[in-house]
Amino acid sequence: MAGASRGVGRGLARALGEAGATVIVTARSSETGPRTEMRPEAIEDTARMVDAAGGSGHHYLCDHRSERATDALVHWALRRFGRIDVAACAVWGGNEGYDGTRYPDGAGWGTPFWRRSAEPFLGLMQAGPLPALLLARAVAPAMVAARSGLIALVSFGTQDGYLGDVFYDAAKAATNRLALGFARELAPHGVTALGLSPGSVATERARDLGREDLATESPLYAGRALAALAADPAVAARAGQILHAGDLARVYGFTDADGTRPERFRVGP
């Protein structure tokens, strides 16, 4: 579970734990090492949550922006466990340094692109699409050999319209397009790739910025969506699609942590 020290990735790991899965929790933040932005959450915390939920949690410190580090993680996982059934990438460092008003370059959300430096754009591509690509290419050979497996990229649906910021919109669209491309190339080998779009999530960062009340769902909602997809023997029919947690809840019958079933989140006009 890439990018699972907090946020949506933590929710995915917990939900797979609920399903009794063995979950490898990976990210850059560890109790015994560096932490992104000095935040308190760490991969060990999430691994313990997986255990508490009924699964078996294992942690592995990994910078998913590095091809070498990602390859090393996958090699370790295959040596330790023999196979990888589900690989999910929830890595997203695009909000690092955002204080609720402005990014480190001084620009606010939705600042016209011609009034911004182009440099942060590269950072956002490295914060989401690149880790998704690196993880998929690392796990694909083993899945192709086994002729089974699910690769899920956590992104944000762009089909309903523009997301309000050129850099953010482009990064999410790129991740969605990777899901489509992976699906086309992996389908003949029995492997399914797809995208998973949460709504407005009550993450730790949203809480710290005082925006938790604007959220529509908890991180566990997308996690239960992933668990349902992983358990679906007909999941290959969804290959290449960008699936919304709210839509999947109605298909598979799961609820959020509080027992509610939030509707699919849609961006405004």
pLDDT greater than 90 at residue 77: yes
Q: Which residues pair with 153 in a beta bridge?
A: 89, 195
pLDDT > 70 fraction of the chain, expressed in percent and rounded:
99
User: What average pLDDT does the chain have?
Assistant: 94
Q: How does pLDDT run across 195-206, given as a tens digit for each residue? A: 999 999 999 888
Instruction: For residue range 114-145, list pLDDT tens digits in order.
Output: 999 999 999 999 999 999 999 999 999 999 99
- Inter-CA distances, 110 with 19, 42, 160, 163, Å: 39, 30, 17, 9
Long-range pairs for 72-78: beta carbons < 8 A, 24 or more residues apart:
73/24, 73/26, 73/138, 74/135, 74/138, 74/139, 74/142, 77/24, 78/142
pLDDT at site 268 = 64
Q: What predicted TM-score, i.e. pTM, was given to this entire model?
A: 0.95
Superfamily of domain 7-252: NAD(P)-binding Rossmann-like Domain (3.40.50.720)
Residue 177: exposure state from Cβ atoms within 10 A (0-12, 13-18, ≥19): middle
Contact 12, 203 (CB under 8 A): no
Residue 269 reports pLDDT greater than 80: no
Query: How far, in Å, CA of 24 to CA of 139, rounded?
Result: 13
Nearest CA-CA partner of 69 in 21, 18, 2: 2
- The predicted model gives 172-189 an average pLDDT of 98
| Average pLDDT for 150-176 | 94
Q: What is the pLDDT of residues 5-53, one digit of tens each?
A: 999 999 999 999 999 999 999 999 999 888 887 888 999 999 999 999 9
